[in-house]
Amino acid sequence: MFLSAFWLGFTMSTCEKESTNSTTDPIGEWILTGIFLSDAKDTPCGWQVNDHREITLKIKKDAKGAIIISGQSVINSYGGKVESLVYNDTDKKGKIKITNLYTTEIAGPKELMQCEERYYQMLQTAEEYTIDENGNLLLGLLKKPNSNPRDGGTYLIFKK
């Protein structure tokens, strides 16, 4: 009886740690599913581009403990540093600052290059992140509490 109560308590505490961690921690591998632009959701490359490679984002700690990003855009690979990554439990948002963004330099069709440029621009200007109720990573400029109802922010939407 004691052993089963101990096991149940151990299992519950393990689950609590995992669930708390996964709801606030952006570390992991993500796929861009959309972009929210103030009051409407767009596809990763806009409505005019239907056929493109998935855009990925990997956030991880390197061997020295620094947080870095890397990924594949529609044409080029990219990487960079995360200078700041702080989460606030009160407002359920994190602060983030991505710097030193670099990419390979492969050219492609104009519409794909425009898609890629928009993506890189939004990464570089991202200030906040949150993990929504569906487990999606929202990264960019999130809705402010007192903003106009039609100003929902501008952010990238990723799924694991």
Average pLDDT, the chain: 85
Is 101:123 a contact under the CB 8 Å cutoff?
Answer: yes
Band of residue 119 on the pLDDT scale cut at 50, 70, 90: very high
Residues of the chain with pLDDT > 70, as a percent, come to 84
Task: Tell me what pLDDT residue 22 has.
Answer: 54
Band of residue 131 on the pLDDT scale cut at 50, 70, 90: very high
In angstroms, the CA 87 to CA 89 distance is 6
In angstroms, the CA 102 to CA 79 distance is 5
Closest of 40, 36, 56, 28 to residue 116, by C-alpha: 56
Residues of the chain with pLDDT > 90, as a percent, come to 66
Q: Express each pLDDT in 47-82 by its tens digit.
A: 878 789 999 999 999 999 999 999 999 999 999 999
Length reported for the chain: 160
In eight-state DSSP terms, residue 49 is -
In angstroms, the CA 132 to CA 101 distance is 26
Range of the domain at 153: 2-159
Query: Please, how many CA atoms are within 13 Å of residue 14, restricted to the half-sphere of its CB?
Result: 6
Q: How many CB atoms lie within 10 A of CB 146?
A: 5
Band of residue 11 on the pLDDT scale cut at 50, 70, 90: very low
The residue type at 92: K
CATH number of the domain enclosing 151: 2.40.128.270
Is 130:93 a contact under the CB 8 Å cutoff?
Answer: yes
In angstroms, the CA 160 to CA 155 distance is 16
Band of residue 41 on the pLDDT scale cut at 50, 70, 90: very high
Q: How many domains does the chain have?
A: 1
Q: Kindly tell me if the per-residue pLDDT of 17 is higher than 70.
A: no
- Residue spans of alpha helices (H) in the chain: 2-24, 110-125
Is 155:141 a contact under the CB 8 Å cutoff?
Answer: yes
In angstroms, the CA 98 to CA 34 distance is 19
